[in-house]
Amino acid sequence: MTIKYFFDSYAIISLIESNDNYLPYLDCEIIINEFVYAEICYYLERVNHSRKELLMQGYSEFVYSTDLEVIKKAMVFRNKWKKRKVSMADCIGYLMAEEFGVKFLTGDKEFKNMENVEFVK
């Protein structure tokens, strides 16, 4: 059985950039949402990645629509965490991972030692 994770943009970009610490996650099932996908596309465009079109197409297959209730809960979560300056996309992803019953895969320091997080730097 393949392990599923909700990958945040940090995790996806780490895979794209061949971060060795993310190699064990290459065989995992990837779940992302539209917000993470947008961040990935922006990153690929910003760095003018040589394989940006191929990567954008490939990651588009892992996009799940975000439920509006998850977005509302995520904004409550973000407001409680406003001192930590957690991004909107990360808050939505974290709550979406919870909704899917999978771990949130990230290297963002704000999520280190949190419940339901697989933290990899």
Distance CA 108, CA 120 (A): 8
> What is the per-residue pLDDT for 85?
85
- The percent helix, strand, coil of the chain (3-state, each to 5) is 55, 15, 30
How far is it between the farthest Cα atoms of the chain? 39
Domain count, the chain: 1
55-77, pLDDT tens digit by residue? 999 999 999 999 999 999 999 99
Parent domain of 74: 4-119
- For residue 109, give the CATH number of its domain: 3.40.50.1010
